[in-house]
Amino acid sequence: MKRILVTTSHEASWDVSEPTIFLGEWCKKNNRRHIWSSIDSEVASPYGLDPKQRISDADEKHKLYDILMKDLSCKLNDFHKKNHSVRYWTILIGPWLDSFMMVVMNRYKTLEATLDHFEISKTILINQKGFSLIKNDYSDFREAINSDLWNNALYVEILKNMKSQNIEILIKDTDKASFSNHSNIKFNFRSFLKKHVFNFFNFFSHKTDAFIINSFLPVIDEIKLKLLLGQFPIIWKSPNIDSNFFRDVELNRDNFFLEFQNFSGIERELRRLINKLIPKIYIEGYEVLCREANNLKWPSNPKFIFTSNSFTADELFKCWLGFKVEEGVPYYVGQHGANYGTYYESKNWPELNTADRFYSWGWKDMYKDINTIPAFNFKVINKLSYNYKKSGKLLLVESSPGTRDGIRDRFYESLTRHEAMVELYRLLGKKIQTDSIVRLHRRSLDLDDWHRKFANIKIDEGQKDFYKVVKKSKLIVFNYDSSGLLELLAMNIPVICFWRDGFNHLLPASKIHYQLLKDSDIFFDSSEKIVNHINLHWDDIDSWWLSPKVQSARLEFCKQYSRVVDNPIVSFKKILVDQIKK
């Protein structure tokens, strides 16, 4: 039986009178259950969750990324009449290219698998005046990844170019504003005020000062670090580009494209879509970006540049950084969260491959050709005195709803984690249920589902300060591999990680360290086993947590992934300066 293909939760793309195939669970919002539950429908299988497929896809992306980055660098140099290195372009557009590739690979492979298993008669393209797949900058692109309208248009764009498909594409006009077509680079009075305050402090900087921005160190510790380096402690912020720039910019990319006709499969589609998806700031806005970067009142010849986060979406910083790197200024990156040194798909993250030094939270030698220097967990150095409440609550921490930026179906992955957490809560005894709080991510879509299943459940919707909640808890459970897990382990606060797919997402070398957690009952992949463990130790958590076996495993794991050192800022200044001398 032929079915209409529905690609998003935007109901303008639905036809409830026809048999339907939903492309994924993201199409079915909980608060619209009364609509979709009455449709004759099936849901396509989620793509990319099989462990072998996940590794295969990651390896394929890794190989294609290097090829496309080199070709794209040459094309950008030709288009802009420049002669920048591949490293320069990787710093500037690498984060976007990485996300772009994962998004297109997911959409393409999901459609491909669905068309192999179902007969599709037609699909609906939502047409809205003023809409474009092309976003202003990387931040805009990241926002679009979860947009119904943007995804609907991208699926149709890919579908139109799939061979041997006889699928009718219906166009439905809509005036409903359901997309973002504005840049995150916008005017803000507080930012304006900060800019002028920082401009005043610029007079105290020297051209050779180390440039440290978004270090992820607590502000007081960043100030201390800069004083130890012998410079005025300016807290640098990247200014905003004039918000008027993108308003009237005209697309001018007819001569910007990668050759794709002689390629096939996913590589052909990636090459074809670069022209249609690369943000304006790298093409039409590049000249303005360069001018603004060259006008920055930042040190002109810094002894080094260090950041833990600005390498992703801060377009001005990335452009300026690229110029400085080509002048020979050392570029250092600090770890800002989980998954570095553990996550299989992290192997070609741009920040790892463009930095001269990467300062980790403890690990080393997890990647070939990455110069990693073990440091410490930057996020906990002012929290080591925090404690837990021995008569407190059980805090169950759920992951985000899953940004749709992975090759695998991250939305479905998040859904299965939620279902596992629901099962865990259901299996708890009434007494512990009463003493439990479920903490949702602030963007969670699961609130209605929790209340529908458990009338008296206590919910924290993710708006409260996490560590204020931790202080009222005696045991915390994470259902995903999170920075919070690493932080609590370093702080010696009782914590358990629980996810059903085991260690499939990990680099081979990191699995032995996670096995330490499993052997000491800090990690579980079974609802029944984790509930039995909680029930057994609930009245005396310390008898388990402070046992020699658990503490030994915790300390060994933290040496690798969440290291704590004495006098961390003095220590960090020393390794920074030692590296400069080398």
Q: For position 575, what pLDDT does the model report?
A: 93
- State the DSSP H helix or E strand holding residue 73, giving kind and residue range, or none if neither: helix 51-80
E-assigned strand segments in 83-155: 120-127
The predicted-structure confidence for 91-123, as pLDDT tens digits, reads as follows: 999 999 999 999 999 999 999 999 999 999 999
Q: For position 347, what pLDDT does the model report?
A: 86
Of the candidates 361, 306, 310, 360, the residue with the CA atom closest to the CA atom of residue 333: 306
The predicted-structure confidence for 507-518, as pLDDT tens digits, reads as follows: 999 999 999 999
The predicted-structure confidence for 537-577, as pLDDT tens digits, reads as follows: 999 999 999 999 999 999 999 999 999 999 999 999 999 98
The predicted-structure confidence for 325-362, as pLDDT tens digits, reads as follows: 999 999 999 999 999 999 999 988 999 999 999 999 99
Q: For position 184, what pLDDT does the model report?
A: 44
Backbone phi, then psi, for 333, in 5-degree steps? Answer: -125, 140
Report the half-sphere exposure of 83 (CA within 13 A, side-chain side): 0
Angle at 58 between CA 103 and CA 525, to 5 degrees: 100
Q: For position 181, what pLDDT does the model report?
A: 41
CA distance linking residue 152 with residue 147, whole number of Å? 8
Residue 521 is given by DSSP the state T
Q: For position 185, what pLDDT does the model report?
A: 43
Q: Are 397 and 475 in contact (CB under 8 A)?
A: no
Structure tokens at 372: 């990693």
Q: For position 178, what pLDDT does the model report?
A: 45
Of the candidates 483, 211, 206, 208, the residue with the CA atom closest to the CA atom of residue 332: 211
The pairing of beta strand 372-374 with beta strand 168-173 = unpaired
- Alpha-helix runs per DSSP H in 161-264: 189-201, 219-228
User: Which pLDDT band, with edges at 50, 70 and 90, does 251 fall under?
Assistant: confident
User: Which pLDDT band, with edges at 50, 70 and 90, does 580 fall under?
Assistant: low
Report field, pTM of the whole predicted structure over 0.95:
no
